[in-house]
Structure 1
Amino acid sequence: MTSLDGLLPFDRDGALAETCTRAQLLRGAAAVGGAAALGAAGSPARAAESPGGDVAILNYALTLEELQAAFYSEAEQAGALDGALARQATVVGGHERAHVTALRSVLARRAIAKPAFDFGGVTERPEQFRATAVAFEDLAVAVYKDQAPRIASREYLAAAIAIASVEARHAAWIRRLAGRLPAADAFDEPLPRAEALRLVRSTGFIAERPRTEGRRRPRFTG
């Protein structure tokens, strides 16, 4: 089984498969930094039991928000996008950076360190950027749907819900730009933490140290 095979059950629209085929981005080896950062979230059962569990859930969300923020920021700096796609990257990038700021503000000293990222040049190729953005936004919606009911703190839940609804709008926006149905189903399915962790590991986008492939070295990389 290849790393792509493990993504197919979630990647129902073929967004990640398209990215893998064209850019060979899904390298299969788990990134050590990403595993450590996402692993801090702990088990879902434990997360629901205590305020400490809530911190773990928000740090899990923070890692995914950092991933998205870095992705869009690098795309903006690369300057390879234009038209509606460039507009989407600029607006959504601002949102994702705001999400990171908000989660770090709520978590304060309990927030994890920012991971390093390596997007393998995908931010400099419009078709690959678009396909990856579809997968990221769908992933974010599914992760928040899975984790939000497990949050005990009203303050933390409010922060998560405020972000989750915006992520759903992001998903609809990029799906429309990709020629996909903005709302493919009547109900969204949650994505368990273990499955999400496996997906993120498979991309290799969370790395031990910053590195960018491509013509330029965007300022926000890492």
Structure 2
Amino acid sequence: MSKNPRVDLSSVVAFDADGALQETAAEAQRHSRRAFLRRGGIAAGGAVAAGAVLPGLTAGAMAATPKGDVAIANFALTLEYLESAFYAAALKHAGLSGEHKRFATTVHAHEAAHVEALKRMLGSAAVKRPTFDFGSAVQSQSAFTSTAITLEDTGVSAYQGQAPFIKSQAVFKAAISIHPVEARHAAWIRQLAHENPAPAAFNPSLTKSQVLAAVAGTGFIKS
């Protein structure tokens, strides 16, 4: 298990004047990032999005879906695996109580539903569930809260930044239907942490490289 006291992705997702990541951070995570790309089914230069699908979008419908959208859906599935596993682990190990427990229970159900919908849509093309180790991020309520804020904020910005790359109207509409739910998750956990749930009038988006670096940088995905 990781011995880090808490997960802090602020240095990864912070936006500089050019919107670029520090090259040293990218280099340090290159192997994990490559593995994450392979698992998410993203070709170099492909579009990335954290997305979900509506129940009506079946595996049959995906047969006529552009390959780029299939890659986006698989990347989304990997992210949903991550979030679903995080909340499941927190419910077991973080000693959550009261509203924090209600939040984790509700959001875990949402993320698990996203996983099942994506798997059903992708069929045999769906990537397998990775192995995760959340370390100290799920060993206390305070660590859970801090990590949940970061994961939800990152997911919201990823949807926002990558939705325009989706070609299929069905996949696009599905992703947009999930985006506000993720935003509500982010606002809810911020409120529980006594932070402003809507800190700015405009929300920044995340680029593909920022999402990849943020996720790889956590060290949560082990294989």
The structural deviation recorded for 1:36 is: 3.0
Unaligned runs of 5+ in 1: 13-27, 209-222
Total equivalences in the alignment: 188
Asked if 2 retains the 8 angstrom alpha-carbon contact of 1:134 and 1:174, the reply is yes
1:1-150 residue pairs with structure 2 within 5 A?
A: 7-8=10-11, 10-11=13-14, 31=32, 33-38=35-40, 40-43=41-44, 51-78=66-93, 80-150=95-165
Asked if 1 retains the 8 angstrom alpha-carbon contact of 2:136 and 2:143, the reply is no
Q: Could you tell me how far apart the structure 2 residues matched to 1:168 and 1:88 are?
A: 14
Look up the match of 1:194: 209
Look up the match of 1:213: none
The 1:117/1:45 distance shift into structure 2, 3 A limit, reads: closer
Q: TM-score, normalised by structure 1?
A: 0.76
- Secondary structure of 1:96's partner? helix
1:129-208 residue pairs with structure 2 within 5 A?
A: 129-208=144-223
Q: Could you tell me how far apart the structure 1 residues matched to 2:119 and 2:68 are?
A: 16
Q: TM-score, normalised by structure 2?
A: 0.76
Asked if 2 retains the 8 angstrom alpha-carbon contact of 1:34 and 1:201, the reply is yes
1:54-88 residue CA offsets vs partner (Å, 9 max, x unmatched): 01111111111110000001111226111111110
Q: Percent identity?
A: 41
1:104-125 residue CA offsets vs partner (Å, 9 max, x unmatched): 1222222111111010132121
Larger deviation: 194-203 or 157-166? 157-166
Q: Could you tell me how far apart the structure 1 residues matched to 2:112 and 2:131 are?
A: 15
When the two chains are superposed, the root-mean-square deviation of aligned CA atoms in Å is 2.5
Unaligned runs of 5+ in 2: 1-6, 16-27, 50-64
Larger deviation: 93-102 or 76-85? 76-85
